[in-house]
Structure 1
């Protein structure tokens, strides 16, 4: 990385994107290896699940329709009931397996990319084998942070649903009531985007610092103060790009029956390439955003301490104290 950390605070939205792109190009060999090993399976599984889920759900709807037009109590009706139960079980088991594999690959990809950028930043010798040997150890810390963040988002959504239900009951059925509901929806979306940013940056903190879980979330909350707009805008653009790719795949491949097989395969490959590029770009961006936030708060990362922290992953991991990777204050 060519920039000194003191300069990182001046990077705006476009600057963060340019710096991320520059790092990927400069270290394209190692990032290509990470992409092919971890991110490509992640993107493929995500897109494949859309196609498989649609197929399984279509079978369920067909069986339900057949059951509706069949007289209850007949042998055929009972057979359709058994088939429907079996199809629902298969659908649920598939979803559980999908989310489990997706979570594992997502956390492994995050660990690999964040560790790689930190190694580049500290000038450490970097090889693909070294990165892959570290990833399983970092993954454990990321899992704890994920579970804590998942619980926080679950509580947030539960409270939001209660508030919406209460307002639906007490608000009048007129234009004023509709406006209030839209305002509540906007507030909810902003809050959810903020929590998503906390989640993403807490993952970086879990790799680069001694904190993880709730401590990493608390640190991240303080870290993005003053940069909420840039952070939310960054992840908003990434999520909109993700939704667009999903929409294209759903329309051109999953429901693209009007196209011949080769066109659907071509569209599928295109969406796969776009998605894996987006995943890689997003992981690099969240690490760069971490450095920008540190620089904004005038917290200079001690490269020697960070290097020691990264080195600890290569041996038997021992929890580090705050000073091991602590950030030194610098004055501007």
Structure 2
């Protein structure tokens, strides 16, 4: 990031993507190492879980249909099939839980690695892959706290939304045009709120790595930073999410279901999906970090590069986060 801090705030939607692409091109060696070590396994786990989940679920559905239409309740055959279905459901949910744990760990490690690396790029600090890998496990612990708070917020948000939806169903329903209109408005507001929470959380992840706050404090800090750059942040999030969805649906349709496609073709498409997803995750994390610096610049908060570099050092084996009292975010005049 060779731009002056005063200039960063003027980066628009395309400017942020261009700056992120330039960073990846300039630092492709270390970012490629991070991708191969953490992000590619993350992509493989995500797409593999889709195929395994669909296969397990399809098997359960077939057995449930067999139990319903081809067995008689009370017979030994019925009991055997019923026990099999219970075991399959247990295996399905154990697999889902295991996947979620591994996916979460790799996601937070990926965020730690990329954000830390881009911060070193910003401060023109010498950075090596070995140093990154020694720092990220310590940053990961802080990110976990921020994730837990985001999970609590999302859970509470969905709980309130469910209560409102039940209230609407009991009092109004779909019997009238007014009821349909209210439901549409509710769904729009729900979607907007969910996107807002997601955008705040993504920026809070960067705040957690680079500043001395984490958890709910990082969410609050992120909420303040994002003001004034909300449109760009939301547009970026929606575009990246759309690309993510296209890759996921493409993998499900052409690889997992694979109607009429030979094994070699499905294998080739699967590999392409793995690679595209890995690149998308890397690109998204870099963009996420660039947006953080854009928001900082927009709010006239000047980060002292030398002080930030000092706090990115590993001292006695412990990661020292950026502290506001050490790195005063002074306001400058544009």
Aligned to 2:103: 102
Which of 254, 257, 278 is equivalent to 1:255? 257
- Residues of 2 paired with 1:186 and 1:36: CA distance? 39
Stretches of 4+ aligned residues off by more than 4 angstroms: 317-321
Aligned to 2:171: 170
Written as runs of structure 1 = structure 2, the 5 A alignment for 1:1-332 is: 1-68=1-68, 69-171=70-172, 173-312=175-314, 315-317=317-319, 321-332=323-334
TM superposition shift of 1:317: 4.3
Give TM-score scaled by structure 1 length.
0.97
- Residues of 1 paired with 2:14 and 2:155: CA distance? 32
SS of 2:313's equivalent in the other structure is helix
SS of 2:318's equivalent in the other structure is coil
8 Å CA contact 2:139, 2:319 repeated in 1? no
CA distance 1:232–1:202, shift in 2 (3 Å): same
| 322-331 or 1-10: bigger deviation | 322-331
- Residues of 2 paired with 1:244 and 1:319: CA distance? 36
TM superposition shift of 1:168: 2.4
Deviations 1:148-168 (A, max 9, x none): 111011001110111122122
Give TM-score scaled by structure 2 length.
0.97
8 Å CA contact 1:137, 1:313 repeated in 2? no
8 Å CA contact 1:13, 1:230 repeated in 2? yes
- Residues of 2 paired with 1:239 and 1:67: CA distance? 39
8 Å CA contact 1:20, 1:288 repeated in 2? yes
8 Å CA contact 1:63, 1:80 repeated in 2? yes
- Residues of 1 paired with 2:152 and 2:72: CA distance? 45
| 74-83 or 199-208: bigger deviation | 74-83
